[in-house]
Amino acid sequence: ILGMSIKGGVTGSGTASTGYTYTYLPNLGSANNVDSYTMKYGDDVQAYQSGFCFAQDFDISGSLDDALKVKANIVAQNVRTTTFTGSLANPTTLDPIITGTCKMYVDSTWAGLGTSQVSGTIIDFSYKVTSGIVPVKYADGNIYFSDMAEKKRHIELDTTMAFTASTATYFADYIASPQTKKFLRLKSQGPTIGTTTNAELDLDGVFIVDTFGSLGERDGQDIVKIKWLSHGDSTASTEGQKM
């Protein structure tokens, strides 16, 4: 989903013993040619396929005592009848990310991203990326799209947080003029891979506070819903990445 919505052709860096890192950092000065796929679906009556599939947006969300979930809006050229590819093996292992293993970091620079953990605060989150990749049609003999283009993209991060001294400081960032940019990382750690490291998912971004909600309550604890909106950073020449 990351390759078919943010940036295509991403290859891993690293070794088998240390594990491989795949960084989906969108280009700012050139087109992000995303990966496209053919998808097959159906049942024992009829199989179908759709080609030139890519995602226009996706959402990674987490709630306590549950696994992270991802959903995406995928577009395709058309629907055709087909037959299923045979002899496909079922996955042998499933390694879900449990939301409770996630950590949130809030820093003041991109270079320092992932330094300052905000502990005892994050309750749930929704990290939604609007890729800006859209299908494009031409008068070229087809009634379906045959190309893609890239419009403006952005990230919306909705969080529910305990109202702590750290959380209260984000209100000052919200009302500041200009608003204060924050560098956020949502980091989760999975099982051991290779010999020296663990599987890891990092959701990074440069954000401003778009909405600072009113106080709520959870089991006697004050909470607040904060919506963060991605913002470009000239120093880092970036707005966000997924690893």
Estimate to the nearest angstrom the gap between the alpha carbon of 150 and the chain centroid. 18
* Confidence class for position 243, pLDDT limits 50, 70, 90: low
- pLDDT given at position 194: 73
Query: Is the model's pLDDT at 28 over the cut of 90?
Result: no
- Extract the tokens encoding 169: 């400081």
**Per-residue pLDDT tens over the stretch 29-79:** 888 889 999 999 999 999 999 999 999 999 999 999 999 999 999 999 999
- pLDDT given at position 96: 85
**Per-residue pLDDT tens over the stretch 202-235:** 999 999 999 999 999 999 999 999 999 998 887 7
* Confidence class for position 93, pLDDT limits 50, 70, 90: confident
**Per-residue pLDDT tens over the stretch 98-151:** 999 999 999 999 999 999 999 999 999 999 999 999 999 999 998 999 999 998
> Which positions ≥6 away from 100 have C-beta within 8 Å?
64, 65
Query: Is the model's pLDDT at 239 over the cut of 70?
Result: no
**Per-residue pLDDT tens over the stretch 166-203:** 999 999 999 999 889 999 999 988 888 877 788 889 99
- pLDDT given at position 81: 96
- Extract the tokens encoding 8: 């295509």
Distances (CA, A) of 121 to 63, 100, 107, 158, 168: 13, 12, 15, 14, 11
Instruction: Give residue for tokens 């990310």.
Output: 97
